[in-house]
Amino acid sequence: MTRSALVTGASKGIGLGIATRLASQGYGLTITARDAERLAVVAEELTRAGSPDVVVSAGDMADENFAAALVATHGERFGSMRALVLNAGVGTSGRVADYPMRRFDKTVAVNLRTPFALLQASLPLLRTAADADLAGGAKVIALASMAGVYAESGLAVYGATKAALISMVEALNAEESGNGVSATAIAPGYVDTDMSAWTHDRITPETMIKVDDIVELVDGLLKLSSRAVVPKVVMTRAGTNGYSA
């Protein structure tokens, strides 16, 4: 059985970094993002990096029907799922007093509702992979945020969705880790990606966490045995007090 992973938000940044590392280790991959043309280019890159099979599925994470179709596509090709990487997300700042409800709904859909739907749909495939590898099990990696651990002004909605994602991971471990399926929420401060560009006037890219730091962490988590469960990892930026992104 080929080890396989599904990676959301895989066209750039953290998702691309993780997908590239998995490709180099021979994982079959299903990758998704909104830009179909960009995904096609990434698929070629991942094949050259070592993946034996790359499935491309472009779509909108705010679409409530997308999750089921995406997981079905992965299942048809691979039959199991060794790793689910919930990386895609949106983040816009705004104060509680005047945050637009339309933006609220989209943030909740992309950052929480669809990840939950993906996790729910993926569980049979994750269990199959865990049964086939009792020592290693199957893993879920969810990219949360420091803002989901410590509240930050202007990030109420974003932080709330990430806090809920962390809670979802912990509940999954309580329910499934005994069956070999475990999850980790990674909660970093600002990472040097396009998503953090809006804060460059305050926090320069040179002081942000590197994408490679996240990739190394994910690589290590995926290599843990099924006996070890790491519910949450908080990663802070050097030179900060550790309580803000």
What is the CA angle 108-65-187, rounded to 5?
35
Per-residue tokens: 211: 């994408």
Contact present, 153 and 200 (Cβ < 8 Å): no
Out of 27, 150, 158, 190, the active site residue is 158
Residue 51 to residue 28: CA distance in whole angstroms: 6
Residue 219 to residue 167: CA distance in whole angstroms: 22
What is the SS3 assignment for 95?
coil
The dihedrals phi and psi of 143, each to the nearest 5 degrees, come to -85, 105
Rounded to a whole number of angstroms, the CA Rg of the chain reads 17
Is-catalytic flag, 190?
A: no
| 8-state DSSP, 75 | H
Q: What amino acid is encoded at 220 in this protein?
A: G
For 52, half-sphere exposure in the C-beta direction (CA atoms, 13 angstrom radius) is 10
Per-residue tokens: 197: 């560009």
127: left (phi over 0), alpha (psi -120 to 50) or beta: alpha
Residue 97 to residue 105: CA distance in whole angstroms: 16
Residues designated catalytic = 158
